[in-house]
């Protein structure tokens, strides 16, 4: 979400009008690719992609220019060649749908502010009939705009609440009407305990991936803006006290890189009692076993102890701090995305729907 708004801000500063092309449907693959977006500026500038940047994207760019000229949205149905289809998950050539429209910022700014405050919401865009009509649905019960019919508004608002809870954008078909529900959520949080040498590249890489980054440490010399110029939040104090101020929820990744028992143990006690999605700790298998033993003696159950990933990260043959940071983020992404961690060439082929 952060990348989307950054791109919109960048184009609006100098590209005049902007067209937005959104992948709203893929046939024969999973819905996870829905929501891929390309922005096309009036001056010809392009950010993002709806496929892999091949001939399909070139066709979308051409259509986007027509949309800017006519100021009328349109739904495109595009065929993919075998190579392009494989890249987005289809086992052979297939069809995608891309909705192209002039950029309208009012509802986007509303949902942007809502997500920035830590809440979730969605924008529902009608794909047929009164094409382009929009409905804003927020998780506090707010509903604004209209799809052109009060009954449709009510039906789609109800279904959108479930889509927001699931956190996955998708196309809905209700009452003979299709609409794309785009979910907006706060950026995932990377909470790092310890401002050592690994934490610096770790937070830099995480920001590229769209994470909100926070570093906690009790040592002012280490937790300094000189060492962490781009981190979103840098706090000095007792980590076990500071960590309680942050949401340890399934979308949060907690990484302990202080390599210090007096930091690690109290933070882990707190974290293991929450639903935090990822807990990783820098150190050897021997150190991990010692930490688990101490926590087990305090009554922490074996299932909870298995949540602690130590040694941390995937086996990338990492040696330097940036390489270790990459290995850590790779493991976090595997956990969050449900991947296997295998090379793509070793990935089992996806089943093709009958």
| pLDDT, tens digit only, all 354 positions of the chain | 556 666 666 666 665 788 889 889 887 543 337 888 888 887 778 887 777 556 677 888 888 888 988 999 999 887 765 555 445 444 445 678 899 999 888 888 888 888 877 789 999 999 999 999 999 999 999 999 999 999 999 999 999 999 998 888 899 999 999 999 999 888 889 999 999 999 999 999 999 888 999 999 999 999 999 999 999 999 999 999 999 999 898 889 999 999 888 899 999 999 999 999 999 999 999 999 999 999 999 999 999 999 999 999 999 999 999 999 999 999 999 998 888 888 877 877 655 444
Q: Are 241 and 270 in contact (CB under 8 A)?
A: no
Our measurement of the distance from residue 257's CA atom to the centroid of its chain's CA atoms, rounded to an integer in Å, reads: 23
Q: What is the pLDDT of residue 116?
A: 78
What's the start-to-end Cα distance of the chain, in Å? 34
CATH 3.40.50.720 correct for 189-335: yes
Q: What is the pLDDT of residue 240?
A: 93
Q: What is the pLDDT of residue 90?
A: 47
Our measurement of the distance from residue 77's CA atom to the centroid of its chain's CA atoms, rounded to an integer in Å, reads: 26
145: β partners: 135
**What's 272's DSSP letter?**
T
Q: Are 80 and 25 in contact (CB under 8 A)?
A: no
Q: Are 108 and 136 in contact (CB under 8 A)?
A: no
Q: What is the pLDDT of residue 249?
A: 87
Dihedral, CA of residue 107, residue 109, residue 115 and residue 120, to nearest 10? 0
Our measurement of the distance from residue 339's CA atom to the centroid of its chain's CA atoms, rounded to an integer in Å, reads: 14
Q: Are 143 and 136 in contact (CB under 8 A)?
A: yes
- Taking Cα atoms as reference points, which of 245, 255, 237, 247 lies closest to residue 332? 255
User: Among all chains, which residue has been given the structure tokens 């979103």?
Assistant: 232
- Taking Cα atoms as reference points, which of 259, 260, 118 lies closest to residue 189? 118
Q: What is the pLDDT of residue 104?
A: 82
342 by DSSP, 3-state: which? Answer: coil
CA distance 222 to 203: 14
CA distance 135 to 147: 6
Q: How many Cα atoms within 13 Å fall on the side-chain side of residue 151? A: 4
């Amino acid at each position: 979400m952060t990348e989307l708004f950054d791109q919109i801000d960048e184009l609006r500063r100098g590209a005049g009008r902007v067209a937005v092309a959104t992948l709203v449907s893929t046939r024969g693959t999973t819905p996870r690719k829905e929501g891929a977006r390309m922005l096309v500026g009036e001056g010809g500038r392009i950010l993002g992609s709806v496929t892999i940047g091949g001939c399909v994207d070139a066709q979308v760019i051409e259509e986007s220019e027509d949309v800017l000229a006519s100021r009328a949205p349109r739904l495109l149905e595009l065929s993919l060649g075998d190579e392009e289809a494989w890249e987005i998950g289809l086992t052979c050539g297939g069809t995608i749908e891309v909705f192209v429209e002039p950029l309208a910022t009012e509802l986007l700014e509303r949902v942007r502010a809502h997500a920035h405050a830590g809440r979730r919401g969605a924008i529902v865009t009608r794909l047929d009939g009164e094409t382009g009509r929009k409905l804003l649905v927020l998780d506090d019960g707010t509903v604004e705009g209209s799809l052109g019919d009060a009954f449709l508004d009510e039906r789609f608002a109800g279904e959108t609440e479930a889509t927001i809870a699931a956190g996955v954008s998708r196309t809905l078909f209700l009452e003979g009407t299709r609409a794309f529900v785009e979910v907006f959520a706060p950026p995932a949080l990377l909470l790092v305990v310890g401002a050592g040498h690994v934490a610096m590249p770790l937070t830099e890489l995480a920001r590229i991936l769209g994470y909100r980054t926070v570093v906690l440490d009790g040592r002012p010399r280490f937790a300094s803006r000189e060492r962490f110029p781009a981190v979103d939040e840098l706090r000095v104090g007792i980590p076990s006290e500071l960590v309680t101020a942050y949401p340890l929820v399934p979308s949060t990744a907690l990484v302990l890189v202080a390599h210090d028992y007096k930091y690690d143990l109290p933070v882990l006690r707190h974290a293991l009692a929450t639903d935090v999605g990822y807990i990783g700790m820098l150190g050897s298998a021997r150190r991990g076993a010692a930490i688990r033993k101490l926590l087990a003696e305090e009554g922490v159950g074996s299932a909870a102890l298995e949540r602690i990933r130590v040694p941390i990260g995937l086996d990338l043959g990492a040696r330097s701090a940036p390489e270790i940071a990459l290995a850590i983020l790779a493991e976090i992404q595997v956990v969050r995305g449900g991947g296997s961690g295998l090379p793509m060439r070793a990935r089992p082929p996806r089943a093709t729907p009958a």
